[in-house]
Amino acid sequence: MKPTPLIQTAWRALLLALLCAGSRSAVAQPQILWEAYNDHRPTALTSPNATGYDMLKAGNGGTLRNFATGEDLTASFTMVVESGATDDFGEDAAPNAGSPAYKLFNGKVDLSNSGIPGVRASSSTRLVLSFSGLDPSKLYKFRGTSIRGGGYNDRWSVFTLLETDTYVAAHEDGSPNKNIITKATFPAADLQPNQVALNTGDNKVGSLVGWDNIQPTPDGTFSIAQEQWMGATPFGNTAAAAVKYGYAFGAIYLAEVESTGLLKITENPASQKRPAGATATFAVVATSPQAISYQWQRVPSWAVDYLDIPGATSASYTTPPLTLFDDGSSYRCVVKSGPNTTTTSEALLGVDGVPPRVIAAQGSIEFNSVYIGFSEPMNLEQLANPDNYKIDGGLVVTEAHVVDPSTVHLVTSPQTPSSAYTVTINGQQDVAGNPLAAATTVGFTAFDTRAETVGLDLWFGFAGGTVASLRNDARYPAGFDIDYTLGTLDSTILLPSGPNNAYAGRFRAWVTPAETGDYEFFLNADEVAELRVSVNDETFDNIDSPDITPDAVDTNTNNTFDETGSRATSAPITLVAGQRYPLQVIWVEVNGADYCKVAWRRVGDPTPASELPTIPSQFLSYYGPKPARINSITLGEEKVLIEWIGSALETSDDLQSWSEVKGAASPLAVVPKGHSFYRARK
């Protein structure tokens, strides 16, 4: 159907109103005079107009190069080791596509090089990046990043801008969970205004350390100190004994900008995410000996040009109530004083109109934890507050740890196997500020013994390097970070080999042979691992005793099962058919590839060790969740019959919002009505 003239007229009127909502403003921006990039230890320069000086040792550095022309500049940098000693570590990683670091450095600097500088608090390492040859009459813009990419969420570094009191913080967070923090964004951190802390141990989200409008000294210098950060962070445990270092810059950017005279912006408006229906306030702080005028501007996500916002002429601007059409809009402020004009950095506005939901809750193989998943990233401080959770049945929540922005790990008093519990959640918001419905409840059933199940505990941020060091660690055994259930003794099912480093893992399972005989157990792990099988006790109570000699120990990295006679292969162990035997494997991962696998072979079986599969799941059992699945759906004349197993049956009409079918038992007969979906919950 073609639009009627009335509809066409209405759309033209709406478009005209949008275009006339503000006036176009041609703003004289301070001109960028040159830009320079440096890549720490490139295999080969990504661009011939970048430089490739190391940024690790005292005296490293050199003359910077104008990226547009390839000509040498008067500006240069030198590395100064003020105290301690720096470390020369292995490969760093590339940032995620589309991240702030990717947008800035892609095609100019290769961030996945074979080296990254390390700084240690234990050695009081302080590595300083010192710029010189700068023009005191100009301003400078700096960006830098460090991306180890090893999943080391405990490894943070702090960067301190020195030799200047004139600058504007311009750090960019590419994460949903604050992996770069200042005193303003994370008050619990005891950071100064000229400091920023970054999770350099991973940072694949490509967050950037940055300052704008840096005024160099009269001698044309400023510098940035780099140290390991041991203070408070939104996630990760920087104070853990195993956290030995952070990382310094692997890539830097410097630009020279025309001065705006005595007019100085000292604080830019901040990007933010807000709920639909709320307002957002943006603010700028500027100084000048003359009167200052302000004009706020906005550009919607679908437009290119900024337009003046009528009447927005103060140092701060508050939007009208927001709608989803405002999502992705950018704001900035044009600041004028006397003959000088400058513009703030852009502030991005995100608008979220969907309240968060609880997706699921699950118990633990240790009967002292419950994991709760949310539909989207949540406010981290609220997520980690144990007072926001109450559990019935006499359970007490003692701790709350953020696993990721949408998952929390609650530590509880001991749970009773197979018992059903309900968690009541209050005081939670998503990152935009949308509240979770008050007194939201979610149920879970404590684990019990399950067939075809293996238990796995993980301790992250562990760099002890030996099994004994894990047993001597204060976090072992009860202070694990997270636990899982698997179907067999193969860590790569959950943890792909390579990207994870500095952690320890523990498998536990009962192995039950179908035939009586003598069995060899084969251990294959990177770094170091040990295997123990108990033939005297069905419990795991004494399997960690230091008086017990491991049945197998693997310290090589050949990624295969070794034949009889290897230390990684046990001597034959006599097992009786139908009897279950506790099996425990502990492995420690330091760096590089990471895997742990266990196989067995009955003596007399001619299968070569290198061709053995991991122990099949039908011979394994451990604590795990109640199975959950829809077994069958049968269509009748008037009703549908649903056969299922699990702790609860849930239904939805949109695959987004799910509700429990109260009192449902299998089989359940339902009358078809519209579109209905069903799922079983563990």
Mean pLDDT (whole number) for 303-312: 96
The verdict on residue 19 lying in a domain is: no
Among 81-90, 300-309, 666-675, the range scoring the smallest mean pLDDT is 666-675
Among 61-65, 358-362, 411-415, the range scoring the smallest mean pLDDT is 358-362
What does the pLDDT read at residue 5? 34
Identify how many contiguous H helices and E strands the chain contains and give both numbers. 4, 49
Find out whether 323 and 275 touch, Cβ atoms under 8 Å. no
CATH number at residue 392: 2.60.40.1220
The verdict on residue 91 lying in a domain is: yes
> At which of 323, 352, 381 does a domain end?
352
Three-state DSSP state, 61? strand
pLDDT tens for 132-146 read 999 999 999 999 999
- The distance between the two most distant Cα atoms of the chain, rounded to a whole number of Å, is 93
Regarding whether 660 and 543 lie in a shared domain, the answer is no
Find out whether 354 and 344 touch, Cβ atoms under 8 Å. no
What does the pLDDT read at residue 240? 66
Find out whether 115 and 91 touch, Cβ atoms under 8 Å. yes
> At which of 333, 352, 371 does a domain end?
352
CA 76 to chain centre: 34
Regarding whether 385 and 529 lie in a shared domain, the answer is no
Residue 247: exposure state from Cβ atoms within 10 A (0-12, 13-18, ≥19): buried
Among 59-63, 151-155, 371-375, 655-659, the range scoring the smallest mean pLDDT is 655-659
What does the pLDDT read at residue 241? 52
CA 177 to chain centre: 7
Most confident of 147-151, 461-465, 506-510, 661-665: 506-510
Regarding whether 159 and 39 lie in a shared domain, the answer is yes
Mean pLDDT (whole number) for 430-436: 95
Report the C-alpha gap between 256 and 470 in whole angstroms.
Answer: 50
pLDDT tens for 224-251 read 999 999 999 988 777 765 567 899 999 9
Regarding whether 279 and 169 lie in a shared domain, the answer is no
Gyration radius of the chain's alpha carbons = 30
Regarding whether 173 and 72 lie in a shared domain, the answer is yes
* Token output for 676: 């209905």
pLDDT of residue 501 exceeding 80, the answer is: no
Report the C-alpha gap between 64 and 61 in whole angstroms.
Answer: 9
Percentages (nearest 5) of helix, strand, coil residues in the chain: 5, 40, 55
Q: Which residues contact 228 (CB under 8 A, 6 or more apart)?
A: 119, 120, 121, 125, 155, 156, 157, 158, 245, 246
pLDDT class of 307 with cuts at 50, 70, 90: very high
Three-state DSSP state, 10? helix
What does the pLDDT read at residue 465? 84
The DSSP 8-state label assigned to residue 112 in this structure reads S
Query: Cα dihedral sign for 363, 369, 372, 373?
Result: negative
What does the pLDDT read at residue 29? 62
Give the structural domain span for 371: 358-445
What does the pLDDT read at residue 243? 63
Q: What is the mean pLDDT of the chain?
A: 90
The verdict on residue 8 lying in a domain is: no
pLDDT class of 18 with cuts at 50, 70, 90: very low
Regarding whether 396 and 345 lie in a shared domain, the answer is no
Strand-strand pairing, 116-119 and 407-412: unpaired
Regarding whether 605 and 645 lie in a shared domain, the answer is no
Regarding whether 223 and 78 lie in a shared domain, the answer is yes
Mean pLDDT (whole number) for 614-643: 85
Element (H, E) at 309: none
What does the pLDDT read at residue 124? 93
Per the DSSP assignment, residues forming a β-bridge with 398 are: none
pLDDT of residue 16 exceeding 50, the answer is: no
pLDDT of residue 61 exceeding 80, the answer is: yes
CATH number at residue 519: 2.60.120.1560
Query: Cα dihedral sign for 424, 429, 435, 436?
Result: negative
pLDDT tens for 516-547 read 999 999 999 988 999 999 998 899 999 998 88
Per the DSSP assignment, residues forming a β-bridge with 508 are: 455, 584
Mean pLDDT (whole number) for 24-32: 63
What does the pLDDT read at residue 9? 32
Q: Which residues contact 269 (CB under 8 A, 6 or more apart)?
A: 282, 283, 284, 331, 332, 333, 344, 345, 347
pLDDT tens for 334-378 read 999 999 999 998 999 999 999 999 999 999 999 999 999 999 999
What does the pLDDT read at residue 92? 77
pLDDT of residue 499 exceeding 50, the answer is: yes
Per the model's pLDDT, the better-predicted residue between 71 and 657 turns out to be 71
Q: Which has the closest alpha carbon to 682: 370, 444, 410, 454? A: 444
Regarding whether 587 and 487 lie in a shared domain, the answer is yes
651-660 long-range contacts, CB within 8 A, separation 24+: 651/676, 651/677, 651/678, 652/676, 652/677, 652/679, 653/677, 657/357, 660/443
Mean pLDDT (whole number) for 154-167: 93
pLDDT class of 561 with cuts at 50, 70, 90: very high
The verdict on residue 606 lying in a domain is: yes
Q: What length is written for the chain? A: 682
pLDDT of residue 20 exceeding 70, the answer is: no
> At which of 352, 375, 405 does a domain end?
352
Q: Which has the closest alpha carbon to 505: 458, 466, 464? A: 458
The verdict on residue 25 lying in a domain is: no
Regarding whether 570 and 478 lie in a shared domain, the answer is yes
Q: How many domains does the chain have?
A: 5
The verdict on residue 15 lying in a domain is: no
pLDDT of residue 122 exceeding 60, the answer is: yes
Token match 């770069």: residue? 180
First to last CA, the chain: 50
Regarding whether 559 and 656 lie in a shared domain, the answer is no
Most confident of 183-187, 259-263, 476-480, 518-522: 518-522
The DSSP 8-state label assigned to residue 580 in this structure reads -
Mean pLDDT (whole number) for 411-436: 96
Token match 């058919």: residue? 577
pLDDT class of 27 with cuts at 50, 70, 90: low
pLDDT of residue 32 exceeding 90, the answer is: yes
The verdict on residue 345 lying in a domain is: yes
* Token output for 204: 């694949």
The verdict on residue 499 lying in a domain is: yes
pLDDT class of 682 with cuts at 50, 70, 90: low
CATH number at residue 290: 2.60.40.10
Regarding whether 634 and 516 lie in a shared domain, the answer is no
Per the model's pLDDT, the better-predicted residue between 241 and 129 turns out to be 129
CA distances from 297 to 21, 279, 322 (A): 11, 16, 16
* Token output for 604: 């007399």
